[in-house]
């Protein structure tokens, strides 16, 4: 038992913090949010160059040989800086998904592109009419002589405009689940950005009878579902680590503001109504971080961790909703303005609570895992 | 005790609703949205209310009102707030700026300012808060000094809603030295077209139109625009703020959202054809909200009942404000969880449940515990004045 | 719309407060709790004499002609004084139940005994093996030539040792619900007191083939269920009014303590951590009281009020659990001692949250009433 | 990072559990219950632990310990707390009174006092709090004045657990004047059999044995019973309290309750034959508790990890204490709601679910946010030392 960061993790943390301090200030975050793609392409490219995006892939395929727990340290730093990158989609979902399916030439190829950090691969799971990523898709995969054709539309696809490959969940005519790797530039694929409050750019993606080769079908049936779950679990934990970073930023901003703002002749941080709210934010943020770390470690060990992933998400959802409002309370009106940085983090934290499995969905997964 | 509105108030509500259904345009979503049509529309809407004697109905007849009973006034507050306050800034004139003038203004001031308010022709804004004077309002430093036959105002106000559209500003500033910080303040009526006034909008999470900074640089304000005794502005302001707090029917918006969520839960089915209403979290969430809505409504009505009985106090409005503003936060969060992942999509996005209503409400609910006296200040009031605890 | 107490209500409140101040101090409450019957018989007798227990019965049968809303004012005062009386059982459940069933000579007789304040009539609903009052009973009613026989056992029967009549819910051999008025002294009825944390004495009551006359069967089938619901609704609201009184006492004790106790050279009530907790107790107690008043008024008007009864209970359960711990927090260690009065109220408040329909049960009733 | 106990610590846990299963009598329900067998049993139990080198295993060999690693110590804390602390008051001797003597005691004092502690033969109590000195401990007024070759102690302590059974008392009192209130304090070791000591039990919600008042009336304490420098007792006390906070494994009891609730939910069926585990509120309640249990456990382990890495701080124990004590409150309340109306029945009542376990825990959880430094004080520590906020 050792809950201190490892040397590697400290190195990742310090390196990422330095790098982001140099390359991403809050005004740049605002520019990125207003841009068409909604992504900080340069930071992503530099992270790729530094080997960070491939950090958690096995070294035998050219990855960094580290674990999800290490990647979470990086994700927390991205959260602290409100950086929008496809880390969760690519190094989280795609990497875990591709490692969970039956290896083929196609999956090996995709994994080596991830290891070489030269592809953004993003999940396209939730159908336009469905509730979330785990709802059975109505988008259809039909086999053809040349391979297969897919038709349908997906919502909430992260980073679609900068992706090279989409991992699309589909239903076959006989009701089986399937996941297909679709070239984002294939004929028939079109996308439009959603209006959304969080940090990740989300897209509505249409598949108008898109033809794919037979080997693009990466998984079918229960195996497809298991691989999706593996991908979502990794993405959930990584996203929670990012959200922990957002909370750290909320605490930092709140503590600074409360240490300087005076009312009634006293610094407001000396009022318990303010100080204790910040203390509670500290407590819950620490709790979230430790849950993330333990869960990532379990996943790195190859253990069954549905209970831990789902439970961590349920806890994070509950406490982060409170923290968002606590942070605004500490700041008063200034925190509501777009000129001030708080909203960059509170919008992300609130969107996080709705994403990656909401409380209902994760509660049910955890309850089953608990034996209930 | 009696838990129903008087029959005539309910008749009036039906009439008012019919009027609003007819008058509110399709595009109207509430006051704080990014749309240039909003302020012109509110002015037009208020003039129509005024034509029907509904704008300042609570005022005495002599000032252009119809001496309406308190429950009809409550009907107005509820229906307007439920609809996103289509009166725009003018709710301030009729709820508290007008009554303040009736209490503290000279006959000339009443003649000059109340008429246009009653006609719905004028928009006011409130210049109280400053960067260094938020909860601690009395710490304000905007100064009005004596010049040639007028005040010369210098300083800065902040969080001034409606300042871009307003014709006049109710300005609390410092005219005289005082031993304690709430002495030496005065209340001025300032024409927003006076040279030297600069308005800088502050973009907010709720959109680009919600707040402003207002800078005063040698702004000349005639002496006859001083309301109440010079140096006694704190008392005028406190009386004004007391009126402000009574005016809030924050529960009315909750009712609109609750009805929308209930309907959404009943009519929305998951892929198994099961309505959302069968989800346990939805059932318990809506039940919790419904009970709290009832409580918020009753806590608000208690203030009015006490006023009607001549038994008003400072604590009940504080209780009501904390409860209702926190309920607005709660319904935003429960509502977002109910509609699920797509709740983060914004109004206008084709995939946004309820066209982004819950997300829109969530954002606009954030400042509610902060506005109109933070909930921390309200809790201080409850503890000190209600429970007798020491400062 | 008028939320101020009526003159009658003010009279009830002031009279009850004076009466209880004179007759029931905290040490007497402790004695009552330790007594075999667990009831303050004298206060009950005096309340009967003053006509308070029959206050809400119609004047044409000799009652006070007032409403449940008026009785709630009295109940709140009982709660403030931690008085243990059968008011909720008798004037709450029994009165509403008896007025809801088909009138017969037997019900008229029982009602006139209530109106004359010379009987304690208490519900015996929850079977020993069931979850609560609304669970279908396994205790059995069998018809005989002479009338009927009942066999089974009930748990959580309030005030059984001082009751004259028990209103017992049963199931007939063909599965129908029935409610029977049982003379507490009938042969075959025996009782033993439960150990319990709340203020009401609760009993385990056995029915060993108790013979009752035919007219003792007061209701059957859906009519029996409706009458039980009417009784439980009145009892629930009255019990909530008592619990509001407990909260008022918690606020009073907390405010006094916080105004006098000094630490670090300051009265602790000047710390926001203390003051704001008490303010929140004030807010939630006021909210509960208004919900109780409106709901009682609706019931007095004969309106359908399942949503309001159930919603009020759900709200009260939620906020009172918090208030109990807030009150203990304000007091520190002293509040945990039995010498100090706080525990008289916090035990009652917590037991209340478990009684009269728990959150699950009342949430489900309210949800159905909301149309969900 | 590493999230498993070392294999030898887990082996030790299995051994310890087997020992406890064999030793804990049927009637044992935990420390604070109304049963005269409790203290004699804890003494016997501690002597058996001592025989196995398990009582003071964390101590250095020279003082009767075995220099056990931090994770084996955590195993002891968890297993003991999970079982209702069958070591009785002696957890204090080994967790912090002994270590305090090792840090501040003379060689003679160490020789005299540590041996009996290591043998499990002696019970200590802690005389710190006073009626007017709770959170504000430094305000204490119990005085030790100089008499004929000894101190003469006069004053009163309160909330002194175990005082009726204790052989010795660790007494913080005022020996000298000081400019500030935490100056002039000294730490004394007081034989509870000294004439002039009166113990008055204070009945509590948790039973008649939980607290005491201790009165000191001209109690003679030899000078050689002063620990640490005279007048520097505050520093000794603070070091002691820091050890106390590390010792708490409040999450271990939560795990016992959680397991009991899960089993109860799975095995208890309603009248329709549906297990309680199918109720949505039970599912979500248990899931919330399970995640919080994990977090509480990790927050506790973080303190130990940091100590092991030589990187301890004041804030982590405060974080852990607030979180774990509030979780104990939460599981009491969720558990009571789960078992339903009969949760209010007490242990021994035939109708009480889980034989009153949840009710018993609920009562005993009430003081957890208050004990060992109130959660308000902990939040002050977090805000001031952790976040740098001003006092």
> Beta strand B124-127 with A217-220: parallel, antiparallel or unpaired?
unpaired
C-contacting residues in D 197-236 (Cβ below 8 Å): 202-206, 211
CATH 3.40.50.920 fits C224-369, yes or no: no
Note whether C78 and C245 are within 8 A (CB): yes
Stated length of chain D = 391
Kindly give the interhelix angle for B280-308 and B233-247, rounded to the nearest 10 degrees: 130
Supply the residues of D annotated as catalytic: 244
| Partner A contacted by D268 (CB < 8 A) | no
Note whether C262 and C290 are within 8 A (CB): no
| Partner A contacted by D305 (CB < 8 A) | yes
Q: Is the pLDDT of residue B244 over 80?
A: no
d(CA D163, CA D156): 13
Give the contacts of D300 (CB within 8 A, at least 6 positions apart): D74, D248, D249, D250, D251, D320, D324
Phi, psi values for residue B349, rounded to 5° = -75, 130
- Cα dihedral value C250, C251, C252, C255, nearest 10: 120
- Given this model, what pLDDT does residue D210 score? 84
Query: Taking the domain A7-115, which CATH number applies?
Result: 1.10.540.10
Q: Is the pLDDT of residue D248 over 90?
A: no
Cβ distance D1 to A370 less than 8 Å, yes or no, reads no
Query: Within chain C, which residues score under 70 in pLDDT?
Result: none
| Partner D contacted by C367 (CB < 8 A) | no
User: Looking at beta carbons, which residues of chain A come within 8 Å of D302?
Assistant: 3, 286, 290
Note whether D382 and A282 are within 8 A (CB): yes
Q: Is B244 a catalytic residue?
A: yes
- Given this model, what pLDDT does residue D258 score? 98
- Give me the residues paired with residue B243 across strands: none
Could you report the per-residue pLDDT of A228-243, keeping only the tens digit for each? 999 999 999 999 999 9
Best CA proximity match to C248, nearest among C217, C284, C202: C284
- Given this model, what pLDDT does residue A129 score? 84
**Residue D20 structure tokens:** 């406890």
State the number of CA atoms in the 13 A half-sphere of B116 facing the CB: 11
What is the percent of chain D with per-residue pLDDT over 70, rounded to a whole number?
Answer: 99
User: Looking at beta carbons, which residues of chain B come within 8 Å of C292?
Assistant: none
Could you report the per-residue pLDDT of D142-177, keeping only the tens digit for each? 999 999 999 999 999 999 999 999 999 999 999 998
Tell me the shortest Cα–Cα distance from A10 to chain D, in angstroms: 11
Phi, psi values for residue A152, rounded to 5° = 150, -170
| Partner B contacted by A13 (CB < 8 A) | no
Element spanning D188, H or E:
strand D185-191
CA angle A75, A23, A236 (to 5 degrees): 15
Mean pLDDT, range D342-370, rounded to an integer: 96
Phi, psi values for residue D204, rounded to 5° = -130, 175
Cβ distance B344 to A339 less than 8 Å, yes or no, reads no
Element spanning D43, H or E:
helix D38-51
CB atoms < 10 A from the CB of D167, how many? 15
Q: In whole numbers, what is the pLDDT of chain B averaged over residues?
A: 94
Phi, psi values for residue D186, rounded to 5° = -140, 155
d(CA D104, CA D115): 16
Q: Where are the domains of chain C?
A: 7-115, 121-222, 224-369
pTM: 0.97
Active-site annotation holder among B79, B244, B271, B376: B244
Class of domain B248-386: mainly alpha
Residue with tokens 């029982």: C110
- Given this model, what pLDDT does residue D31 score? 87
d(CA C312, CA C306): 10
Q: Which of A279, A299, A310, A314 to mutate to test the interface with D (most CBs of D within 10 A)?
A: A279
pLDDT classification of B357: cutoffs 50, 70, 90: very high
Q: CB pairs below 8 Å between A and C: how many?
A: 10
Mean pLDDT, range B15-41, rounded to an integer: 93
**Residue C136 structure tokens:** 């279908």
A117: left (phi over 0), alpha (psi -120 to 50) or beta: left
Mean pLDDT, range D281-287, rounded to an integer: 97
- Given this model, what pLDDT does residue B247 score? 60
Q: CB pairs below 8 Å between A and D: how many?
A: 155
Mean pLDDT, range D363-384, rounded to an integer: 95
- Given this model, what pLDDT does residue D247 score? 60
Phi, psi values for residue D43, rounded to 5° = -65, -45
- Cα dihedral value B384, B385, B386, C1, nearest 10: -150
User: Looking at beta carbons, which residues of chain D come within 8 Å of A371?
Assistant: 262, 266, 277
- Given this model, what pLDDT does residue A11 score? 96
Could you report the per-residue pLDDT of A148-188, keeping only the tens digit for each? 999 999 999 999 999 999 999 999 999 999 999 999 999 99
Query: Taking the domain C121-222, which CATH number applies?
Result: 2.40.110.10
pLDDT classification of A355: cutoffs 50, 70, 90: very high
Q: How buried is B348 (Cβ within 10 angstroms: 0-12 exposed, 13-18 middle, 19+ buried)? A: exposed
d(CA D194, CA D221): 8
| Partner B contacted by A341 (CB < 8 A) | no
User: Looking at beta carbons, which residues of chain D come within 8 Å of C339?
Assistant: 202-203
State the number of CA atoms in the 13 A half-sphere of D199 facing the CB: 22
Best CA proximity match to B154, nearest among B168, B165, B140, B167: B140
Mean pLDDT, range B1-25, rounded to an integer: 97
Best CA proximity match to B270, nearest among A364, D13, C159, A176: A364
- Please, which chains are in contact with D (at least 3 CB pairs closer than 8 A)? A, B, C
Cβ distance A273 to C272 less than 8 Å, yes or no, reads yes
d(CA A220, CA D119): 66
Q: Is the pLDDT of residue D319 over 70?
A: yes
**Residue C270 structure tokens:** 């000047």
Q: In whole numbers, what is the pLDDT of chain D averaged over residues?
A: 94
Could you report the per-residue pLDDT of C249-296, keeping only the tens digit for each? 999 999 999 999 999 999 999 999 999 999 999 999 999 999 999 999
Q: Is the pLDDT of residue B246 over 80?
A: no
Phi, psi values for residue A174, rounded to 5° = -90, 20
Calculate the alpha carbon distances from A23 to A10, A47, A48, A119, C120 in Å.
20, 11, 15, 22, 79
CB atoms < 10 A from the CB of C22, how many? 8
Note whether D180 and D162 are within 8 A (CB): no
User: Looking at beta carbons, which residues of chain C come within 8 Å of D134?
Assistant: 263, 332-333
Superfamily name and number for B126-231: Butyryl-CoA Dehydrogenase, subunit A, domain 2 (2.40.110.10)
State the alpha helices, DSSP H only, in chain A: 7-23, 26-34, 41-49, 68-80, 87, 95-100, 105-115, 221-260, 272-300, 306-331, 342-354, 359-369
d(CA A275, CA A266): 13
Tell me the shortest Cα–Cα distance from C311 to chain B, in angstroms: 5
Calculate the alpha carbon distances from B151 to B142, B222, B230 in Å.
12, 6, 12
Could you report the per-residue pLDDT of D53-110, keeping only the tens digit for each? 999 999 999 999 999 999 999 999 999 999 999 999 999 999 999 999 999 999 999 9
Q: Is the pLDDT of residue B318 over 70?
A: yes
ipTM confidence: 0.96
| Partner D contacted by A338 (CB < 8 A) | no
């Amino acid at each position: 038992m050792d809950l201190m960061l490892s040397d590697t993790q400290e190195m990742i943390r310090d390196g990422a913090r330095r790098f982001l301090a140099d390359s991403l200030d809050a005004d740049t975050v605002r520019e990125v949010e207003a841009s068409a793609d909604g992504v900080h392409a340069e930071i992503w490219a530099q992270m790729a160059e530094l080997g960070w995006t491939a950090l958690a892939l096995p070294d035998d395929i050219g990855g960094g040989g580290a674990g999800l727990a290490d990647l979470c340290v990086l994700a927390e730093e991205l959260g602290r800086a409100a950086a929008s990158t496809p880390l969760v989609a690519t190094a989280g979902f795609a990497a875990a998904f591709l490692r969970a399916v039956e290896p083929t030439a196609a999956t090996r190829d995709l994994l080596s592109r991830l290891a070489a950090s030269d592809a953004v691969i993003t999940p396209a799971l939730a159908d336009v009419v469905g509730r979330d990523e785990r709802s059975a898709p109505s988008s259809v995969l039909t086999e053809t002589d040349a391979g297969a054709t897919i038709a349908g539309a997906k919502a909430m696809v992260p980073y679609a405009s900068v992706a090279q490959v989409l991992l699309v969940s589909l239903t076959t005519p006989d009701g089986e689940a399937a996941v297909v790797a679709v070239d984002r530039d294939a004929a028939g694929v079109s996308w439009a950005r959603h209006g959304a409050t969080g940090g990740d750019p989300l897209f509505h993606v249409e598949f108008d009878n898109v033809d794919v080769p037979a080997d693009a079908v990466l998984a079918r049936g229960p195996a497809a579902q298991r691989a999706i779950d593996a991908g979502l679990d990794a993405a959930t934990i990584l996203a929670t680590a990012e959200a922990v970073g957002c909370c750290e930023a909320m605490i930092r901003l709140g503590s600074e503001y409360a240490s300087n703002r005076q009312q009634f002749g006293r610094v407001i941080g000396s009022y318990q109504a303010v100080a204790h709210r910040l203390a509670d934010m500290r407590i819950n943020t620490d709790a979230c971080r430790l849950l993330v770390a333990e869960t990532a470690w379990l996943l790195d060990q190859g253990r069954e961790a549905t209970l831990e992933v789902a439970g961590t998400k349920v806890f994070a959802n509950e406490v982060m909703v409170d923290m968002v409002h606590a942070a605004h309370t500490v700041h008063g009106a200034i925190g509501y303005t777009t000129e001030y940085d708080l909203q960059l983090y509170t919008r992300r934290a609130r969107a996080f609570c709705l994403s990656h499995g909401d409380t209902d969905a994760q509660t049910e997964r955890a309850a089953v895992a608990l034996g209930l | 005790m009696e838990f129903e509105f008087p029959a005539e108030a309910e008749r009036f509500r039906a009439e008012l609703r019919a009027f609003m259904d007819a008058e509110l345009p399709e595009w109207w979503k509430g006051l704080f949205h990014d749309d240039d049509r909003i302020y012109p529309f509110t002015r037009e809407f208020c003039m129509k209310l005024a034509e029907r004697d509904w704008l300042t109905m609570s005022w005495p007849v002599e000032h252009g009102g119809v001496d309406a009973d308190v429950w009809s006034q409550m009907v107005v507050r509820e229906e307007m707030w439920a609809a996103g306050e289509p009166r725009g800034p003018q709710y301030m004139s009729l709820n508290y700026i007008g009554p303040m003038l009736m209490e503290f203004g000279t006959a000339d001031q009443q003649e000059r300012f109340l008429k246009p308010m009653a006609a719905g022709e004028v928009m006011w804004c409130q210049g109280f808060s400053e960067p260094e004077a938020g909860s601690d309002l009395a710490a304000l430093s905007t100064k009005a000094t004596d010049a040639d036959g007028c005040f010369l105002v210098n300083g800065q106000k902040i969080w001034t809603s409606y300042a871009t559209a307003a014709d006049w500003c109710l300005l609390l500033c410092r005219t005289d030295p005082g031993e304690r910080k709430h002495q030496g303040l005065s209340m001025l009526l300032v024409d927003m077209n006076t040279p030297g006034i600069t308005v800088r909008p502050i973009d907010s999470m709720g959109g680009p139109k919600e707040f402003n900074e207002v800078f005063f640089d040698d702004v000349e304000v005639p002496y006859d625009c001083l309301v109440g005794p010079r140096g006694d502005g704190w008392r005028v302001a406190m009386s004004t703020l007391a009126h402000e707090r009574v005016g809030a029917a924050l529960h009315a918006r909750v009712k609109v959202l609750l009805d929308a969520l209930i309907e959404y839960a009943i009519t929305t089915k998951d892929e198994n054809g099961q309505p959302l209403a069968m989800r346990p979290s939805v059932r318990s969430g809506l039940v919790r909200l419904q009970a709290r809505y009832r409580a918020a409504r009753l806590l608000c009505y208690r203030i009015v009942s006490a006023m009607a009985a001549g038994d008003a106090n400072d604590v009940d409005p504080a209780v009501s404000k904390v409860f209702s503003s926190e309920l607005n936060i709660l319904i935003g969060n429960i509502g977002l969880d109910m509609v699920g992942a797509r709740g983060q999509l914004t109004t206008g996005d084709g995939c946004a449940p309820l066209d982004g209503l819950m997300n829109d409400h969530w954002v606009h609910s954030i400042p509610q515990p902060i506005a109109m006296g933070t909930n921390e200040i309200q809790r201080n009031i409850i503890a000190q004045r209600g429970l007798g605890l020491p400062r």
